[in-house]
Amino acid sequence: MFSKYLKGCNRQSATGNFLLVFMRYPEAGKVKTRLAAEIGTERAVSIYEKLLRRTLGVVADYKHLNPALSVLLFYTPGDPVEKIEKQFGGPWTLCPQEGEHLGERMKNAVDAAFSMGAQKVVLIGSDIADIEPGDLDEAFHKTGDGVSALGPAGDGGFYLIGLGRPCGAPFDFTQWSTGEVFARTLREIARSGLRVETVAKRSDVDRSADLPLIDSNPAMGKRLSIIIPTLSDPGKLSPLASFLEHRTWPGDEIIIVQGGPQGRTDRVRKSDLLIHARCPRGRGIQQNFGASLARGDLLFFLHDDTIPPPDFGYQIRKVCGREDTALGCFRLAFYPSNKSVKLIAEWANLRTTMFKLPYGDQGLFCRRDIFEKAGGFYRGYMMEDVDLVKRCRKLGKLVTVSSEVYSSADRYIRKGPIAASLQNHMTMLLYHLGVSETELYSIYYR
């Protein structure tokens, strides 16, 4: 019966807790149809994609805290699997939904998880505005052999159901868009001999009246501008730009700023998502220029040889949503890697933890208002990242995301790990001793 699942899901080896996430690929006219009738299909699909990306960010956070958890992401029949993998891939396995209606598809998914060795199964939707990792944790703790967890949604449905054994009764219905779904499910679970424990009530977004939930949520109401300074032809950054394009949220933008001769400053907007700009050479100068072009509420300064984690959009929004936080960064890793550069990365992460002093290759990000209060990048060529960090720390906390960015190790391999590391530390020491930027530049590049 479950052969299609076991083939499509690449049967997981882990047993125990299984988290099932039901999603649709965000395509206009196929998601949030009730909301689309009020605000239009394009805006509705944009809102659904934000909800989906936030939900998957929450799931990734919970998976990080619970490595043994098995996560299955169920897409609807006909969804473009290759696009889902590029845009929404993560620490989960993609599986096709099977069944004539939603109830049958949920039942089949739950049964398949138990056939894979699950002891507890929690199933959630992907369009809840305020679900948190704690909701998932509570659901798994409350779920048992004789107990089912159920999460009520604001519209009278449910956004979460947890089961400790197969139970088909709650799913034996064809109608799922009514305000009585939660009460019906509660009744059917009880008739099956299970006790029901509820978890926190959460909000879905199905009507225009629900839209304030989007605007008031820092993870969804803000736009992100990714600013990439480079000395290379922007065309060489196509692989990085493509990766970022597949992972940005609706309304985000990518600004590639190419450094060149003095006196030349211009911009070319290739699309609503991508801007190519030129200005005088200097990483601090280029990043300031990129920030002046940015339309986003959040600014992410990314080196052109650095790849952020797939869920960078969610992580940045989560950190920047904290009012006491001024600046964020990611943990550092290198590619290609070896023992020497791993040690350098470990030291960089330790330095960031102990001294709150990350470098720019860790991907610095902040709210626009913090960047403006700090005065942007004071230095144009050397130590502009450390200088900005020191000023931002006076405005709030520095938060390091546990996810890693992968930065190129070429400079360490080319110069030698020890020589390159000593050069960096000497530059840092001279900076703190007050050596001018001009002298630092001359020493570093001689």
| pLDDT tens digits, 330-355 | 999 999 999 999 999 999 999 999 99
Global pTM reads 0.93
**Residue 396: per-residue pLDDT:** 97
Q: Are strands 195-198 and 253-260 parallel, antiparallel or unpaired?
A: unpaired
**How far apart (Å, rounded) are the C-alpha atoms in residues 246 and 248?**
6
Residue the block writes with tokens 């009764």: 169
Decide if pLDDT at 58 tops 90: yes
Torsion (CA) 411, 378, 317, 233 in degrees, nearest 10 = -50
Parallel, antiparallel or unpaired: strands 253-260 and 325-335: unpaired
Examine the pLDDT at 2 and tell me if it is beyond 50.
Answer: no
Nearest CA to 358 among 397, 335, 320, 328?
328
Q: Are 360 and 428 in contact (CB under 8 A)?
A: no
Are the C-beta atoms of residues 117 and 70 closer than 8 Å to each other?
Answer: no
CA 33, chain centre distance (Å) = 25
* Percentage, residues of the chain above pLDDT 90: 78
CB neighbours of 395 closer than 8 A, spacing ≥ 6? 326, 370, 373, 374
How many Å apart are CA 105 and CA 136, to the nearest integer?
A: 21
Tokens matching residue 118: 């699950």
pLDDT digits 0-9 by tens, 5-52: 444 454 444 459 999 999 999 999 999 999 999 999 999 999 999 999
d(CA 207, CA 219): 20
User: Which domains does the chain possess?
Assistant: 3-215 (3.90.550.10), 224-445 (3.90.550.10)
pLDDT band at 177 (very low <50, low <70, confident <90, very high): confident
DSSP code, position 313: H
Helix (H) or strand (E) holding 126: none
